[in-house]
Structure 1
């Protein structure tokens, strides 16, 4: 592990984390979707420029205008937390020693199973992971703080929004741990292995290899209460956030996703979960007892549609997120689903408009546990 200079929030740039597209060479032209398409969830269309209340549940349509929320920019009169940055090398991880696939390669569909992709160009490879830790000005040393873990970091927009929301009393003072991925994308890559695999390994990696470093290095105490822990991300980072909470609900109860990759992108192929994250809305959530999760989701009308060479009908991000909303509603989950007009995959303008409200909604019912 290599430490990097600590930076003050006052001089940090307001930047949107660059989420990686889950793309392949066969990417089709992306159609603009109508949120009122038959088969989609019934949703309330809000006046342009407005967003749903932090008290609202269910399905909403916003846009086409996406004006940044006031909380998405730095305000000099608001207490600003500290952001600490460090890097982790793959050699330091017992769980993820590192893989990569050759550039400009995708894979070949299994002739006997179009849902399975054969990737022969993936091999062991080292990586370096960036990590940023946000500690709010209001944190009281020695107290157990709620926290949020974010994928595809560092995400400076998240830190700025938290500064403002905490100062406004809209969310509790919380620590944010924004993790970079292990590089690459989709099947055969380190990022794909971490984010798209349908098991608890990534949450276990965070729990055993990241959180202890954060507590020791920056003299903070992280709550063990799952109601005080959230996971967030966009694209595969979004599906990763739900995977963390689904497989380890004893650790995480809150999930926030932009353009969640609830599609068939798991690799290696697992016959017990043949559709990867597509199985969340196809079989896993419908056939499982509801878990104590609170979930905020977004998808854009120009989000990804990528049939690719697999031709398995499980690579449509809009349909996947619409199906997720249906599955969550059927099981009576506490959720809010936003369909954004004039929005692309992990759309930056939409995130700057909605992230403050999304975070406020996510933490609305939080009550700290004293121990």
Structure 2
């Protein structure tokens, strides 16, 4: 089937571009709103001493007798905020109501903080959690966060209906969680992923083609004017392109969306409805 895309002129200035949200990112009068429940977690054994909030968004169409799909979002409130760029709860409500994606419970997890730390920079555990190349964050989700959700709501055990999404450091975190635990997470969205910040360097351009293909479906978004876009080192744009090329060479079910603008959640947020439709197609 041929899909016709309306003509749009390319912006001449690629740095200061803003994408407009579509109707799926806006509250619709005919769509019942889901319920959002706030949790707090202070007892982590994976990241001792941290505290964080997380939110569970339960769509109005959720039936406690029918297992729901699961979508985990990093940087929880940024991705849930109804007035922000991503608006995850609104998008889930609209797509589920129209039958575009299965009934999906959204889990929006903030990065950990050390509340007693004196220095502001020492409070945040975000980069430790998100940029690491290991299974710690996936284990954290599977052992500490998701069980609290599964105690209250019926979640499917089918890994093809478990997704994970994030941007910047949260983007490579999402990919790493799925890479180490494809038995659990098989649907991945990474926006402007900070692969360049991974300790020891970005392993994926060499690792992906040389490893047995995993059962993952991956959507990556990159920006023409992302951080250090024209620099020879720590180039965020180039690093994302290399990961996308590795996925292509290894035969993955993947999609790369390349947009204009800098290191902003705007483009990824606008893409979320279509990204979810593509993941769950």
Is the aligned partner of 1:93 residue 2:44?
A: yes
| Contact 2:221 2:259 survives alignment (8 Å) | yes
| Contact 1:49 1:65 survives alignment (8 Å) | no
Shift of 1:353: 2.5
Structure 1 residues 66 and 49 mapped into 2: Cα distance closer, same or farther (>3 Å)? farther
1:70 matched residue in structure 2:
23
After superposition, give the CA deviation of every residue in 1:79-128 in whole Å (9 maximum; x if it has no partner). Answer: 21100001112xx1111114xxxxxxxxxxxxxxxxxxxxxxxxxxxx43
DSSP-derived class of the 1:227 partner: helix
2:227 matched residue in structure 1:
304
| Contact 1:49 1:64 survives alignment (8 Å) | no
Structure number with larger C-alpha Rg: 1
1:356 matched residue in structure 2:
273
Structure 1 residues 186 and 203 mapped into 2: Cα distance closer, same or farther (>3 Å)? farther
Shift of 1:49: 8.0
DSSP-derived class of the 1:245 partner: helix
After superposition, give the CA deviation of every residue in 1:16-40 in whole Å (9 maximum; x if it has no partner). Answer: xxxxxxxxxxxxxxxxxxxxxxxxx
Structure 1 residues 141 and 204 mapped into 2: Cα distance closer, same or farther (>3 Å)? same
1:96-107 aligned at under 5 Å gives the runs 96-98=47-49
Is the aligned partner of 1:161 residue 2:94?
A: no
2:65 matched residue in structure 1:
142
| Contact 2:113 2:123 survives alignment (8 Å) | no
After superposition, give the CA deviation of every residue in 1:145-189 in whole Å (9 maximum; x if it has no partner). Answer: 111011001222011001111111111110000000014999995
RMSD, matched Cα: 2.7
Shift of 1:69: 1.1
Candidates 21, 44, 48, aligned match of 2:8: 48
User: Does 1 or 2 have the higher relative contact order (CA < 8 Å, sep 6+)?
Assistant: 1
1:319 matched residue in structure 2:
238
Candidates 256, 262, 265, aligned match of 1:344: 262
Runs of 4 or more, structure 1, over 4 Å off, are: 184-189
Listed as ranges, the gaps of 5+ residues in structure 2 are: 81-86, 115-119
Return the TM-score normalized by structure 2: 0.85
Q: Work out the number of aligned pairs and report it.
A: 261
The structure richer in helix per residue is 2
Shift of 1:67: 1.9
Q: Distance in 2 between matches of 1:226 and 1:237?
A: 20
1:123 matched residue in structure 2:
none
Structure 1 residues 314 and 199 mapped into 2: Cα distance closer, same or farther (>3 Å)? farther
